[in-house]
Chains A and B, each alone.
Chain A
Amino acid sequence: MTYLIRGKVALLIKVVVVALLASVLLLLAQSAFAQREYVIAAFLAISVAILALTYLSKISIPLKFFIPGILLLTAFVIGPILYTVAMSGFNYKTGNIISKEEAIVQIKVRGIEPAPSGLSFDIKLGTVDGKPAILASDINTSEYFLSTLEGRTPLVASSLTFNEYGVAIVAPNFIPLNETEFASADKIYTGARFVFDDQFFIALEGFEAGVVSQQVLEFVPESDQFRNLLTGDVYTDNGRGNYALADDQGAILEPGWRAPIWFENYSNIVTDPRVREPLIRVFIWTVVFALLTVLTTFALGLLLALALNKAIRGRRIYRSILVLPYAMPSVMSILIWGGMFNTEFGAINALLGTDIAWFSDPNFARVAVILVNLWLGFPYFYLISSGSLQAIPSELMEAAAIDGANPRQIFRKITLPLLLQILSPLLIASFAFNFNNFNLIFLLTGGGPRNELDGEIAGATDILISYTYKIAFGSGTQDLGLASAISLIIFILVASISLYSLKKSKVLESFA
């Protein structure tokens, strides 16, 4: 009975399962490689090798149990942390997203300008002597010519055949492309410069139109510079992910690229008042919010647990009702509470007979946030407090009562200290969770209210993580580098506070 399937069959099943898993990972590796995500591709390939080595050899039995967890931890925890660390050292924001090579290609493309004359032609694609050519028509001026990459040949109307719109489609020595050749010709003709005159060329804008254009920006690879051929301006790499004019660093060419700026994002947090000042305010509120949430939810949960710890009629029903807020998806609860706090139509104002602008006034908004989080969080502490109360030996309370202690003294001197010893890790975990309670803030207040008219950047209820989200993904400029730097600071803060608290509560020692 120990093994349902054993022997060769089991071995074969194992090989097949591992092979199928490896095939999926190889497929993903292949896809990642095709998208030039080499680190991901390498990780997936190494994972396949590790899985094969672990499960198809007898290298280590414990490893067979640990390896899936280790790989998932690496992929979804360690990887993102390392990526965040790396990105925090880059100028990585709207306008500086792509690589330098891609940026150079695109600046060259954008460096092509239509001629001041605005001339354009209806064109027909084809070849002359096997080389790419266009048959160009200006139906307004009846100007026709053949243009190749080497030269331009004027044509007279009498030598041409026209379609119903007056566009030339057949000319001597010109072999037009047929429909099936268009797609394969795209790469050849796109970007080709068909001769117009000494200064201008014809650039394709689709298969039917050519626009007389000129190259305004020229890349000089030797000096890593862009040169404006009309004004003579020279744009050099400013070391921050853009080509900029030497005497006007604000005059940059777009797009830029991700460039390393090392610790600048971190120093901006300290030196840039537009980053520092809102961040300090948000940090203070984040700590207050997390502390108040833990205190209020724990207090209410414990109170209810104590109340229902005694045998009273209908205790099971009460217990079931109290767990309901925890059973409901928090997203739904938050949205419902959001509606109930609505100034004009909300149930709260209707019940109280008030017209409080809950989400427009900073203090009321903060109260609303704490109240909603109390609703969401107390069942958790009620449940764990209930369980912990059962775990405290009743003999201790009985002995104290015999010694003359009153119920308040028993709670203060025996029950609460023992409870805190048991619940300390959970209280610390709750603090850490609420420090990053993005969902509540995002869905209930969106971080607001914010007085934009007075130049406020962060909202009154923004916590660090929601503020970071706005920096990373808000409207206007998205600064992923700065957001990464703030994320790391949050990580260090939460980790430090948690470690300190755990150490103080000596929880780690009891696990040792």
Chain B
Amino acid sequence: MKTKRYGFAGVFAAIALAVSTLVAPSANAATEIVVWADESRGPNLTKVIAAKGDWVSGYTVKVVTFSSFDALKDAFDKATDASGPDIVVGGNDWVPTGAKSGKLAPITLTAAVKARFNPTQFVDLTYKGKLYGVPVDINNVAMIYNTKLVSSAPKSFGEMVSNYKSLKASKGLKAGLCIAGGGMSWGAHSVFSALGADAYKFNSRGGIVYGRSFTATTFGKNVRKYLMDGKKSNGFFPATDTGCKDNFLAGTVPYAVIGNWEWADYVAKGFTMNLMPVPGVREGTYGKMFGSVSGALLTTFAAKHGVESGAKSLLTNFFASTDGQVRYQAIEKRPPAEKGAQADSTVTAAQRGFGSSASLAGIPQIGAFLNSNKGGANYWDSAPAYWTAVLIDGKDAVREASKLAAIWRANTDGGKGDL
């Protein structure tokens, strides 16, 4: 009986160990650099990197694609030493939390590599003076106008409001200007800034001039003048972005702020490149169009996997190079971040159109700044509440602007040290 029991135990142990050994994952080869990307960028990066296999001598590059940008973020938040990527292509607002939590590693670029980019793009990827990746592509918004409703580009904010009022009844307009891309904080920053509430003004060296930003009284008075009829909204600018895109495409809104990531939908409906920044209250001035860069970010896992130098080489040789960005953006179709790639003949009209709109009046979204709870508030999270309070609840435009300005100030004072 004893022999029999030992026999079963032996069979059990043998089978269990044999199977577990057979299916056990082999350790990652140290010659492989793993890049994580979302469902759009992943397949394109795979193609481009595979087409020219020697971006980093002695290494192969494996691109892991996730089903969505959110899935990618979720996976990166949960990544461990064993499972984490060496490079992740993510949003610039991942930088502060990734750096604080020890998931992103700093990189120092040489002057030659830095010169390939606009300096403000590095602000997007910097946290406490350290750079955590290289800019890959630009995500920005611009205002589009429907030439079937308005014949020419508006010269001022007031002109847009006048056009809306005169066409409202005859064309059955549902709004004058609405936000289809970027939401009621980042997307609507173009309207905030056009009316006088610029979240941050930049000097020529790419530094922020805090003292000249966000003038609440001017902004509040402009809101009263251009967006209100007494205590009620005049209908020109909806408080939410719901339905904006559909209404614009249906021809019931003449002006809309759209994101470059949705441009194909507008082309499919027959729209052409009537892009511009939102005009300001004075002719010749413009609101600041929000724009951010997505970055190829170096992770701390690269060092743990023994491929840190290889990963840094991939960042500079591929992601931050003219050749790499031209090849990649030829199929990804976003505006490239690298200057040489921007000037390349393969860049499409849409890529150029958004790029030129951004260069005329663009601001970066800085993850470390105004997007944290520093000072006990979060400006970008709070901004949409302004439109609700004023345009829906009918609260005083100047007083509510002062409240938002106070949040901006607290957030700025608390957060500017993180730049």
A: residues with CB less than 8 A from B are: 11-12, 15-16, 18-20, 22-24, 26-27, 30-31, 34-36, 48, 52, 56-57, 94-95, 97-98, 102-103, 106, 109-110, 114, 118, 120, 179-184, 186-187, 189-191, 203-209, 211, 213, 254-255, 274, 342-345, 357, 360-361, 449-455, 475-478
Q: Which of B100, B238, B376, B378 lies in contact with A255, CB distance below 8 A?
A: B100
**Given A30-B24, A274-B376, A476-B378: A205 touches B58 (CB 8 Å cut-off):** no
Q: Decide yes or no whether B118 CB sits under 8 A from chain A.
A: no
User: Which residues of the other chain, B, contact A450 by a CB distance below 8 angstroms?
Assistant: 385
Q: Which of B30, B110, B238 lies in contact with A344, CB distance below 8 A?
A: B238
- Nearest chain A CB to B110's CB is how many angstroms away? 4
Does the CB pair B110–A34 fall under 8 Å? no
User: Which residues of the other chain, A, contact B57 by a CB distance below 8 angstroms?
Assistant: 179, 182, 207
Q: Decide yes or no whether B31 CB sits under 8 A from chain A.
A: yes
Does the CB pair A183–B31 fall under 8 Å? yes
- Nearest chain A CB to B180's CB is how many angstroms away? 14
User: Which residues of the other chain, B, contact A453 by a CB distance below 8 angstroms?
Assistant: 382, 385-386, 389, 400, 403-404, 407
User: Which residues of the other chain, A, contact B110 by a CB distance below 8 angstroms?
Assistant: 120, 205, 209, 211
Query: Within the assembled complex, what's the spacing in Å between the Cα atoms of A106 and B303?
Result: 10
Q: Decide yes or no whether B294 CB sits under 8 A from chain A.
A: no
User: Which residues of the other chain, A, contact B389 by a CB distance below 8 angstroms?
Assistant: 451, 453
User: Which residues of the other chain, B, contact A190 by a CB distance below 8 angstroms?
Assistant: 303, 306, 308-309
Does the CB pair A35–B317 fall under 8 Å? no
Q: Decide yes or no whether B11 CB sits under 8 A from chain A.
A: yes
Query: Within the assembled complex, what's the spacing in Å between the Cα atoms of A343 and B242?
Result: 10
- Flag the segment in B12-20, B330-338, B341-349 that touches A: B12-20
B: residues with CB less than 8 A from A are: 5, 8-9, 11-20, 23-25, 30-31, 56-59, 80-83, 97, 99-103, 105-113, 128, 130, 238-240, 242-243, 300, 303, 306-310, 312-313, 315-317, 371-373, 376-378, 381-382, 385-386, 388-389, 392-393, 400, 403-404, 407
- Nearest chain A CB to B229's CB is how many angstroms away? 15
Q: Which of B103, B108, B371 lies in contact with A114, CB distance below 8 A?
A: B108
User: Which residues of the other chain, A, contact B101 by a CB distance below 8 angstroms?
Assistant: 94-95, 97-98, 255
**Given A15-B12, A19-B16, A360-B393: A342 touches B242 (CB 8 Å cut-off):** yes
- Nearest chain A CB to B175's CB is how many angstroms away? 9
Does the CB pair A98–B242 fall under 8 Å? no
- Nearest chain B CB to A336's CB is how many angstroms away? 15
Does the CB pair A208–B243 fall under 8 Å? no
- Nearest chain B CB to A101's CB is how many angstroms away? 11
Q: Which of A20, A56, A476 lies in contact with B8, CB distance below 8 A?
A: A56
User: Which residues of the other chain, A, contact B12 by a CB distance below 8 angstroms?
Assistant: 15, 18-19, 22, 52, 56
Which B residue's beta carbon lies closest to that of A203?
B108
**Given A15-B12, A35-B82, A357-B392: A26 touches B17 (CB 8 Å cut-off):** yes
User: Which residues of the other chain, B, contact A184 by a CB distance below 8 angstroms?
Assistant: 30
Does the CB pair A183–B102 fall under 8 Å? no
Query: Within the assembled complex, what's the spacing in Å between the Cα atoms of A345 and B247?
Result: 11
- Nearest chain A CB to B399's CB is how many angstroms away? 9
Does the CB pair A183–B59 fall under 8 Å? yes
Question: What are 6 residue pairs bridging A and B, where the CB atoms are less than 8 Å apart in the complex?
Answer: A35-B83, A56-B5, A180-B58, A274-B376, A344-B238, A452-B382
Q: Which of A98, A205, A478 lies in contact with B312, CB distance below 8 A?
A: A205
The 6 A-B residue pairs with the shortest CB-CB distance, nearest first, are A182-B58, A23-B19, A255-B102, A19-B15, A452-B382, A206-B313
Most B-side CB within 10 Å, residue of A18, A52, A103, A183 = A183
Query: Within the assembled complex, what's the spacing in Å between the Cα atoms of A432 and B380?
Result: 35
- Nearest chain B CB to A466's CB is how many angstroms away? 16
Which A residue's beta carbon lies closest to that of B74?
A473
- Nearest chain B CB to A104's CB is how many angstroms away? 11
User: Which residues of the other chain, B, contact A114 by a CB distance below 8 angstroms?
Assistant: 108
Does the CB pair A179–B393 fall under 8 Å? no
User: Which residues of the other chain, A, contact B99 by a CB distance below 8 angstroms?
Assistant: 254-255
User: Which residues of the other chain, A, contact B388 by a CB distance below 8 angstroms?
Assistant: 360, 449
**Given A19-B15, A98-B101, A209-B316: A186 touches B82 (CB 8 Å cut-off):** no
Which B residue's beta carbon lies closest to that of A55?
B12
Does the CB pair B310–A19 fall under 8 Å? no
- Nearest chain A CB to B239's CB is how many angstroms away? 8
Q: Which of B100, B113, B242 lies in contact with A254, CB distance below 8 A?
A: B100
Does the CB pair B16–A22 fall under 8 Å? yes
Query: Within the assembled complex, what's the spacing in Å between the Cα atoms of A161 and B193?
Result: 56
Query: Within the assembled complex, what's the spacing in Å between the Cα atoms of A181 and B303?
Result: 18
Query: Within the assembled complex, what's the spacing in Å between the Cα atoms of A434 and B113?
Result: 56
Does the CB pair B317–A476 fall under 8 Å? no
- Nearest chain A CB to B246's CB is how many angstroms away? 9
Which A residue's beta carbon lies closest to that of B101?
A97
Does the CB pair A35–B308 fall under 8 Å? no
Query: Within the assembled complex, what's the spacing in Å between the Cα atoms of A118 and B24?
Result: 47
Does the CB pair A186–B102 fall under 8 Å? no
Query: Within the assembled complex, what's the spacing in Å between the Cα atoms of A120 and B316?
Result: 14
- Nearest chain B CB to A220's CB is how many angstroms away? 21
Does the CB pair B108–A213 fall under 8 Å? yes
- Nearest chain B CB to A474's CB is how many angstroms away? 9
Does the CB pair A19–B111 fall under 8 Å? no
**Given A23-B20, A453-B400: A110 touches B242 (CB 8 Å cut-off):** no
Which A residue's beta carbon lies closest to that of B4?
A11
**Given A114-B108, A183-B59, A360-B393: A206 touches B243 (CB 8 Å cut-off):** no
Query: Within the assembled complex, what's the spacing in Å between the Cα atoms of A357 and B8?
Result: 70
Query: Within the assembled complex, what's the spacing in Å between the Cα atoms of A345 and B316?
Result: 49
- Nearest chain B CB to A30's CB is how many angstroms away? 6
Does the CB pair A207–B309 fall under 8 Å? yes
Query: Within the assembled complex, what's the spacing in Å between the Cα atoms of A357 and B309?
Result: 55
Q: Which of B9, B17, B80, B312 lies in contact with A206, CB distance below 8 A?
A: B312
Q: Which of A102, A187, A211, A451 lies in contact with B385, CB distance below 8 A?
A: A451
Q: Which of A27, A183, A205, A476 lies in contact with B20, CB distance below 8 A?
A: A27
Which A residue's beta carbon lies closest to that of B403?
A453
Does the CB pair B25–A31 fall under 8 Å? yes
Q: Which of B25, B106, B312 lies in contact with A109, CB distance below 8 A?
A: B106
Query: Within the assembled complex, what's the spacing in Å between the Cα atoms of A345 and B241?
Result: 12
- Nearest chain A CB to B216's CB is how many angstroms away? 12
Query: Within the assembled complex, what's the spacing in Å between the Cα atoms of A189 and B303?
Result: 12
Which B residue's beta carbon lies closest to that of A125?
B309
Query: Within the assembled complex, what's the spacing in Å between the Cα atoms of A345 and B13?
Result: 65
Does the CB pair B16–A48 fall under 8 Å? yes
- Nearest chain A CB to B286's CB is how many angstroms away? 26
- Nearest chain A CB to B182's CB is how many angstroms away? 16
- Nearest chain B CB to A424's CB is how many angstroms away? 40
Does the CB pair A109–B309 fall under 8 Å? no
- Nearest chain A CB to B24's CB is how many angstroms away? 6
Which A residue's beta carbon lies closest to that of B303?
A190
Query: Within the assembled complex, what's the spacing in Å between the Cα atoms of A452 and B381?
Result: 8
Does the CB pair A110–B106 fall under 8 Å? yes
- Nearest chain B CB to A12's CB is how many angstroms away? 8
User: Which residues of the other chain, A, contact B316 by a CB distance below 8 angstroms?
Assistant: 205-206, 208-209
User: Which residues of the other chain, B, contact A186 by a CB distance below 8 angstroms?
Assistant: 30, 306-310
User: Which residues of the other chain, A, contact B317 by a CB distance below 8 angstroms?
Assistant: 206, 208
Does the CB pair A97–B102 fall under 8 Å? yes
6 new A-B pairs (CB below 8 Å) besides A19-B15, A52-B12, A94-B101?
A23-B16, A98-B102, A206-B309, A451-B389, A452-B377, A454-B403
- Nearest chain A CB to B417's CB is how many angstroms away? 10
Which A residue's beta carbon lies closest to that of B109?
A205
Query: Within the assembled complex, what's the spacing in Å between the Cα atoms of A48 and B392?
Result: 61
Which B residue's beta carbon lies closest to that of A26?
B20
User: Which residues of the other chain, A, contact B80 by a CB distance below 8 angstroms?
Assistant: 35
- Nearest chain B CB to A492's CB is how many angstroms away? 28
User: Which residues of the other chain, A, contact B25 by a CB distance below 8 angstroms?
Assistant: 31
Which B residue's beta carbon lies closest to that of A250?
B417
User: Which residues of the other chain, B, contact A204 by a CB distance below 8 angstroms?
Assistant: 309, 312
Query: Within the assembled complex, what's the spacing in Å between the Cα atoms of A183 and B103?
Result: 22
Query: Within the assembled complex, what's the spacing in Å between the Cα atoms of A110 and B129?
Result: 10
